[in-house]
Structure 1
Amino acid sequence: MTVRFDTKIAVLLRDDLATWQRLNVTAFLSSAIAGADPALIGEPYVDADDTEYLAMFRQPVLVFAGDGALLTKAHGRALSRGLRIAVFTEDLFSTGNDEDNRAAVRGVPTEKLNLVGLALHGPKNAVDKVLKGADLHR
């Protein structure tokens, strides 16, 4: 049975990142979406031996890629639509903890953020408009 969702969880990555960077950025950004809306998380998993596992998102997370200009456009579109987003800037690759990460973002004006990724959750149509021009990550 295929379930259709009215909302979409999406991560947009800059297309020139190394594999380890793509994976790292996706993990960090996904955690922001989970933290922003606990209702997106389902029930814990349990196997046939009653071993319990952590709960995950109730719906798929779609990962997209685009160049830096597209990330900047998507960022602006999301903000203009009032969507809450998570951002990952290039500066965060050189920090080592949450406090330094937040300081690195705080020190840069919105229009000058050197984005390597962003994530958002919202109504399907709004997310699709934000991501216009992005390709599903391969």
Structure 2
Amino acid sequence: MTTALLPATPNRCVIVMDKELSGGSLANAIAVIALSVGQRHPALVGEPLVDACGFAHPGLIPTGIPMLCAPQDALASIRREALANECDVVDFPVEGQQTKNYGEFQEMVSQVPTENIKYTGLALIGQKKTISKIVKRLDLMS
């Protein structure tokens, strides 16, 4: 994952998942990516939602998050294009679903050159116009 901060406050986030993932593996990967996006970009989280009884519910992302899919072999090129266009990217290497131990996950990833990493999915965070150009040909997840 890149640690660079965006030059402008992001106003768009999309998540692109490996189109072959399903069930628990898909849900897990989306949750991991989304949690990291919220931590890295708290400005994307809206104000708390207050119900009619005055109870405050945690704020959610007001712009929504399109859920898209692509073949796994396309995810690395989508990631490169997003980074080249000054988007932040939260990526989830496939090794993350091969172990339950984060230290082992780190060790596994450290053995793979960047150009050989395969991803379960990724989030693109940045400006709406830029992200729209990158993902315009991708399908919605079904």
Query: TM tier, shorter chain?
Result: 0.7 to 0.9
The answer to which of 8-17 and 38-47 deviates more is: 38-47
Q: 3-state SS of the aligned residue for 2:52?
A: coil
Which of 86, 89, 108 aligns to 2:90? It is 86
Structure 2 portions without partners, runs of 5+: 1-9
**1:96 to 2:106 alignment:** no
Q: CA deviation at 1:18?
A: 1.9
CA root-mean-square deviation: 1.9
2:11 and 2:54 map into 1 onto residues whose CA distance is 32
Residues 102, 57 of structure 1: CA spacing in aligned structure 2 closer, same or farther, 3 A cutoff? farther
2:26 is aligned with 1:22 = yes
Equivalent residue in structure 2 for 1:12, among 6, 13, 16 = 16
SS of residue matched to 1:61: coil
Q: Name the structure 2 match of 1:42.
A: 46
**Residue 6 of structure 2 corresponds to which residue in structure 1?**
none
Q: Distance in 2 between matches of 1:105 and 1:31?
A: 20
How many Å apart are 1:97 and its aligned residue? Answer: 4.3
Output the TM-score relative to the length of structure 1: 0.84
Distance 1:132 1:120 in 2: 13
| Partner SS state of residue 66, structure 2 | strand
1:75 partnered with 2:79: yes
In structure 1, what residue type is equivalent to 2:112?
A: V
Report the alpha carbon displacement of residue 123 of structure 1 after superposing the two structures with TM: 1.0
Unmatched runs of 5 consecutive residues or more in structure 1 = 1-5
Separation in 1 of the partners of 2:136 and 2:80? 12
Partner of 1:105: 109
Q: Using the alignment, how far apart are the partners of 2:105 and 2:53 within structure 1?
A: 41
Q: How far 1:27 moved relative to its partner?
A: 1.3
1:137 to 129, 136, 141: 141
What is the aligned residue count?
133
Deviations 1:36-70 (Å, cap 9, x if unpaired)?
Answer: 11111111222222222222112201110010222
For the Cα contact (< 8 Å) 2:11–2:44, is it kept in 1? no
Aligned AA (1:22): L
TM-score (normalizing by structure 2): 0.82
Percent of aligned pairs with the same residue? 25
